[in-house]
Structures are given as C-alpha cells and as structure tokens.
Chains A and B, each alone.
Chain A
Amino acid sequence: MSFTQQKEEREIEEALVKDLQAGNLEAYDKIAESYQKKIYGLSFNLMRNQMDAQDVTQEVLLTLFRKINTFQGKSAFSSWVYRITLNASYMKLRSKKKEPNVSIDELLPSFNGAGFQQEKIQDWSENTESLLFSNETKDVIKKAVDLLPEKEKVVFLLRDVEGLSTEKVSEILDLTVPAVKSRLHRARLFLRKKLSGYFEEYRSKKGEA
C-alpha cells in the first residue's frame, strides 16, 4: 500500500470514528465490518477456540460502540481496537485453566564457549512449499505458536501475522521498540526450533523411503 493510500484510509477511518462519536449508526456498521475479521482472527489465534473468539469479538464490537466517546485519538484508532481485543482475550483466558508455559530459553539456540553452533542445523526451508498444504503441517505450526509464552506470542501475532509495524506494536503494547524487537526475535527462534524438529523428521522419513 502506498503512502497516499495509507493516508487516505486513515482519513476515511478518522471520519468514520467522528461520525460514530456523533451517533451515526451507519458508521458503526462500516467500522464493525472492517474490523471484525481482524478482531476474530487475533482472538482466535490467542485462544484457539471458536466460541471464545466469537464471545470476544462480540464484546469488542460492543465496547467500540459504547466507549467510542472515550477514544481521544491520542493513538491510532486501530491500536485502540487491538488493545481492547487483547484485553478481552486475556480476561477470557484468565477465566480458564491455564496450560503450563514452556520455558522459551530451553528452545533458544545453543552455542559453545567460543560462540559457535553446537547443534547440527539442517536446512529444511526448501521443503516447506509442498508441506504447507498439508493439514498436519498446519496443526504443527498452530501448536508451536500456542506453546509460545504470552509475552512473545502477542508480539509475534501482531507483528508477523497481522503485519503491523514495529512502532505500531510498541504503541499497542506500550513497550519500547527494542523490547518489541527482542521479543519477536525470541519468538521466531523458538518457533524455528519447534518447526525444525518436525521438518527434520519429515526429511529423514522421506530419505528412508
């Protein structure tokens, strides 16, 4: 998207928000329509449960409606929507039994005293194209993301999955830019390690066949 397009979209959205603040219900429809997939997608990826994601989406849409006058425009409207979505998802997650988190450090790369790779690294990156379409691969990927600790997971979902900029993620989560970068890097390392186990096993099976 070009800079001009982005600017135009932002202006349209700002106008919609103003209309909604003035009580225009048509503006509400448009806002709900343009955000519900984002809200649902993010909450589903955080909770991996259709009913919960539906509840959260309803709650967020309702909050947007009821609290629109508390939105002061200090941050982007979309950042406000993402924050409400995250809060609602976390409330929902907290009300459920929590799975014990895996320690991320155990899955980070290990090096010897001189700083050289200690483990054997296989390059499975060229095999992924054909594998990506299998449901088994998709399940492995989803499970790996589910295992990420909360702090790293949210940064990963906003930055790498939603495709938001580092600056925007730092605004939404009220984190510094270096903190966002460091969490994202750790999340990618963790996921790389998790996926490596799966793809390397696949390669060796294929080699045997």
Chain B
Amino acid sequence: MICCKECVDLLYEYIEGSLDSGTTKSLEEHFQECPPCIAFFNTYKSTRTLCRDTLNEIEIPDEVRHTLQSFLKEQKKQQEKK
C-alpha cells in the first residue's frame, strides 16, 4: 500500500484525472484505510475553490474604469493626430 506522503504527492494528478488506473486504485485503497488523507484531499480541493472564488471577485472599481476610459480616449486622440 502507498504511504501518506505518496498519497499527497499524487493528489494533483488525481484531480486532473491523469493517473493510470493502477495508481488510481492504490490511491483509492489508501483513502479507504486512511481518514486523515481523505480529510487532506477534501481540504486540498476546497482550498482551490475558495481561493479561486475569492480572488475572482475582483472588479475594476468605477473610478479606475473612468480613469482608464479617459486614458484610452487621450491615447487615441494622440494617435489620430499623427
């Protein structure tokens, strides 16, 4: 049976679905015997989702959007003069 360290090393590929069937089987057998690794796997997956959802919330604030718009307008004007 694989040990916890090997299990953690394989999590990335396991989530990607890129492990061969033999390795997937060994990993899943390990999970059955090892609740801490299941907890580790669940929290590893949650970490990814939590960080993605939080950091993806960033919107351009209105004042920045206005500054960018005037900046682009100015750039275009200068370009048209050339």
B21 contacts across to A, CB distance below 8 A: none
Q: Which of A27-45 contact B (CB under 8 A)?
A: 28-29, 32, 36-37, 40-41, 44-45
A160 lies within 8 A of B36 (CB): no
B56 contacts A by Cβ under 8 Å: yes
Chain B, residue nearest A190 (CB): B47
Binds B, one of A8-16, A90-98, A99-107, A122-130: A122-130
Q: Is B38 an interface residue (CB 8 A)?
A: yes
A56-64, A81-89, A167-175: which lies at the B interface?
A56-64
Flag whether A54 is at the interface (Cβ < 8 A).
yes
Q: How far is the CB of B17 from chain A (nearest CB, A)?
A: 13
**Chain A contact residues: over half helix, strand or loop, or mixed?**
helix
Tell yes or no: B6 within 8 A of A by CB: yes
Number of interface residues of A (CB under 8 A): 54
Q: How many residues of B contact A (CB 8 A)?
A: 43
Residue A142 at the chain B interface, CB threshold 8 Å: yes
> Residue B54 contacts which of A50, A138, A181, A192 (CB distance < 8 angstroms)?
A138
Whether B60 lies near A145 (C-beta < 8 A) is no
**Main SS of chain B's interface residues?**
helix
Closest Cβ of chain B to A5, distance in Å, is 20
Cβ of B20 under 8 Å from chain A: no
Bound CA span A109–B53, Å: 24
Shortest distance between the CB of A110 and any CB in chain B (Å): 9
Q: Chain A residues with Cβ under 8 A from B61's Cβ?
A: 50
Q: How far is the CA of A87 from the CA of B28 in the complex (A)?
A: 42
Q: Does residue A209 face the partner (Cβ distance < 8 Å to B)?
A: no
Which residues on the B side are within 8 Å of A132 (C-beta)? 50, 53-54
Beta-carbon contacts under 8 Å, B35-82 to A? 36-40, 42-61, 64, 67-68, 71-72, 75-76, 79-80
Given contacts A138-B57, A163-B52, 7 further A-B contacts (CB under 8 A): A117-B34, A120-B36, A121-B40, A128-B50, A195-B46, A195-B47, A195-B50
Residues of B at under 8 Å CB distance from A? Answer: 3-6, 8, 11-13, 34, 36-40, 42-61, 64, 67-68, 71-72, 75-76, 79-80
